[in-house]
Each structure stands twice: as C-alpha cells, then as structure tokens.
Amino acid sequence: MHNALPDGVELARLVQEGKTSPTELLEDAISRANNLNPSLNAIIHRLDEQAHTRAKKMSEQDAPEDANLWGVPFLTKDLTVMTEGDPYHAGNVGLRDSDYRADHTTHLATMFERLGLVNFGRTNTPEFGLTVTTEPVSHGPTRNPWNLDHSTGGSSGGSAAAVAAGIVPIAHANDGGGSIRVPASECGLVGLKPSRGRVSFGPKLGESWAGVAIDGVLTRTIRDTARVLDGISSPWPGDPYWAPPPRMSFEKELSISPGQLKIGVVTASSWGPIHQDCIDAVQKTALLLQDLGHVVENNSPSALFDDELFHHFKVAMASNEALSAQKLSDAIGKTFTSEDMEGDTRALIELGLTYTATEYIASIQWLHSYSRRMADWWSKFDVLLTPVIAQPPPKLGELRDPKLGTKRIRELLLFTVQFNVSGQPAISLPMHTSSSGLPIGIQLVGAMHHESSLLQLGHQLESSSSWHNRKPLLYAS
C-alpha cells in the first residue's frame, strides 16, 4: 500500500536487524488499537498485559530459527482458536455473560506463537461464525474502515477491519462458507482459504463442519500470507487427513514463475444476478492475466451451481452446530435459553436436532460426490477466476433484517461455499473498487493442495496492480 504501514515480513526484518523490538512494535499496535477500535469495534477482548510480558521476554532474546514473524503484533478471531484462560465468547451472549474462558490451547494457537506472533487481543465475530456480516447481539457490529456504515463481511469481520485499518498486519481468520474470503473482499485484503487438512484443528477436534471449515489469516500482502501458511501447516498426530507438504516453502514459491496457466472465468450464475461492479472486477483481472501471458477462457465446472448443494451443506452445518452448542452449554454449566442465543442461531440448531443419523450420512456422501465432480474440471484447467460475492459490501443491518436478511445472504453467496465443500484452496485478492469506492475482491480457485499456484499468481497480480495505492478512510497514521 502507498504510505502504508510495513507488513509482517518487513516488521520481522526490522526486529531481526535490531532496528526495533517486539515491545516497541506492540506498543505501536496498542496505540493504533486505542485510537481506531472505538470507531471500528473490531477487537472485543484485550490481552495487553500478557502480550507486554511476552514481548518484553522476546525483546531480550534472539528469535529461534523457525520464528519467521518474531515480534509481529497479531490478533486472533474469537472463534475456534483458543488460548487457555483467555475469554472465548464466539459471538454468543450466553458465553459472554458467563465470562467463559478457554479450557485448553489449540494447536493452531501454538503454531502462531511458535512463528513469533504477539497476540494482544481477540476479534469480533457473528454468533458461532454462522453468517457473513459481523453484527452479533453479544458485542455489536464491526464497522468497515472504508465506510463505517457498511459491513466488514463475516464471519472474520473483526480481524478484517483490524488489518484493513492498519492496527496489525496479520490477523487470524477461519472459513466455513466464505468467512475468510468475504471479509477480505469487503475490506480490501488478501484472504486465502487453504486446502482441507492443511491446518489442524487439534488437539480436540479432527475436523470442523464435516471438513468444510478451515483456519487461516487475513493480510495486506501475499508474502505475509505465504509466510504464515508455512508456519501453520503442521499436522497434529491423529488428524483424520492432512495436506501433503509443498515441494518447497510457500514463501520461496513466490520467487518462481507459475508458467503459463490455463484459467477459466465465470461471471454469471444460475442462482442469481451479479452486480456489474463485481463483473467488472473479474473481467479486468482476466485481461490483466492475459497480459501476463496466461490462457484465459470463459469456462467453469458444470457442478458449480448444483441446486442441491445448499440443502446438504445446511444438513452438515446445522447438525455440527447442534453438537457444538451442546458442548458449550455443558462447559458453562447451563442450558442455553432464548435470552442466551440469537433467534437465527437457535432455529439452525433446532433444525440440526431434527436430522437423523441416516440423513446426515446421506448428505455427507452427497457432498463427497460433489467434491469429486468439482475436482474433475481441474484436470483440464489450472485455476478458476470468479467474483467473491455477487454484490459490493452491503450496509450494516441489511443482512440482519428479520424479513429480508436470509434472502440477502443467499443472494450474496454464489461463489464461496462450493470450495469449502470441495476442500480446494481459494483466495480473495483486492483487485477492484466499486463505483462508490468500496473494495471488491476477485477469487482464484486452485486444484486440491495447490496453494502454491494461487500464491504465485497472486504475487504476479500484486506486482502488476494498484491495490497497494488504496487505503481506507479510517487508517492508522
């Protein structure tokens, strides 16, 4: 970004060269959070004291060899990733009112720490991460730094706002139906959903939402995304599946040309209309890819818009959420009442309780079959280029409207859920802005386990585009 704060790779270099320290970086980030968060409501739990203790200790020692982001300030989303003893509310009123604290530290939190990241807070998320706007009753809405009247997307909207506004260069995110890519698109960021199995849910979970969900980060640069992915791609013994390691580090792959790729493009959907600004974003990117030497044609998987997809996806999601709610209810020692949970969430959980084991397994088998139908297209193409969402960032409140909210969400999510189901890597890149100046991302989807192709292609686009020259209205000095 033009006159932007350094990214995580640059900050780590400055620490390594002795030009700054983890403590100084943390104090700067805390100062930015104090100035900007009251307007954004991105960070809901502050962990300043323990972060200061960690940064002070780090400032007095050399970085271990594999701590490639030593001293870089960081935030974790208040969902999935846990650190023992720290607040964990997952956007839920019942957990908030019980002041629930995590009873264990997840493997991914340990990987972030091993990288050298200094976590000083947890970011806002919709209740249990179930929607694509971050406006939970429990903690209130997160506002988009590009225009405070608009949504940041979800469910990683708090993390997206914090990174977009320059509070931190990197923040944790996760994605079960677009929850990394949608906020990346709406806040002008890089958001990679890794391949299924690339990032472990250990120690307690083998998979989330039947393998549909995955963790990652939101960043402002491709190299930050690649460096973090190298650091968190570590399986936990006993994981039900994991992605094979890359031939070399993802970050080193950035220095290698992807060669001439065959790229399919889609800008229309049988599920609903697409805003012209989102079509323009894809078409302009397609022209740039052609200029970069790639072969681009209008083509996409025949299974992309299968009308049965959302039914089977909902069976898997609702069933898993019913169990998750029961576990959290047990953890706080009380049954969730109507005052402890939002109406939409309760309706989904009650729906999940109605499915039989046979119905659940039938839907899982359908989703597996769908994944194979999707994967076949990548035997002929290298990458698929699509919009991320079908319209520019909506205004706050639109997707929470009791009468129209669900309809509006369905109108937006035309291109993301498919790749949660198939498990393929997909990345949102901030290639465009709307006619009103709001960010619009494009999505690149790779073959299973081929994150390297997406990162290499993203690196080419980053070098050839002007996204670094754009900054939001609310941005750290």
pLDDT score, position 468: 85
Instruction: State mean pLDDT over 2-24.
Output: 92
Given the residues 155, 159, 200, 319, the one annotated as active site: 155
Give the span between the Cα atoms of 240 and 422, in whole angstroms: 16
Instruction: State mean pLDDT over 23-49.
Output: 98
Given the residues 151, 156, 179, 300, the one annotated as active site: 179
CATH architecture under which domain 8-469 falls: Alpha-Beta Complex (3.90)
Where exactly are the structural domains of the chain? Answer: 8-469
- The upper half-sphere exposure of residue 161, i.e. CA atoms within 13 Å in the direction of its Cβ, equals 37
Give the span between the Cα atoms of 112 and 385, in whole angstroms: 30
pLDDT score, position 405: 81
pLDDT score, position 5: 87
Give the span between the Cα atoms of 149 and 143, in whole angstroms: 7
155 catalytic per annotation: yes
Give the span between the Cα atoms of 303 and 146, in whole angstroms: 35
Instruction: State mean pLDDT over 77-104.
Output: 97
Residue 312 has pLDDT above 70, yes or no: yes
pLDDT in tens, 385-402: 999 999 999 999 999 988
Task: Please answer whether residues 98 and 332 qualify as being in contact, where contact means their C-beta atoms are separated by less than 8 angstroms.
Answer: yes
pLDDT bracket for residue 412 (50, 70, 90)? very high
DSSP per residue, 328-371: HHHHHTS---TTTS-HHHHHHHHHHTT--HHHHHHHHHHHHHHH
Instruction: State mean pLDDT over 155-178.
Output: 98
pLDDT score, position 49: 98
Task: Please answer whether residues 264 and 285 qualify as being in contact, where contact means their C-beta atoms are separated by less than 8 angstroms.
Answer: no
pLDDT score, position 2: 43
Instruction: State mean pLDDT over 92-99.
Output: 97
pLDDT bracket for residue 3 (50, 70, 90)? low
pLDDT in tens, 439-452: 999 999 999 999 99
User: Three-state DSSP class for 74?
Assistant: strand
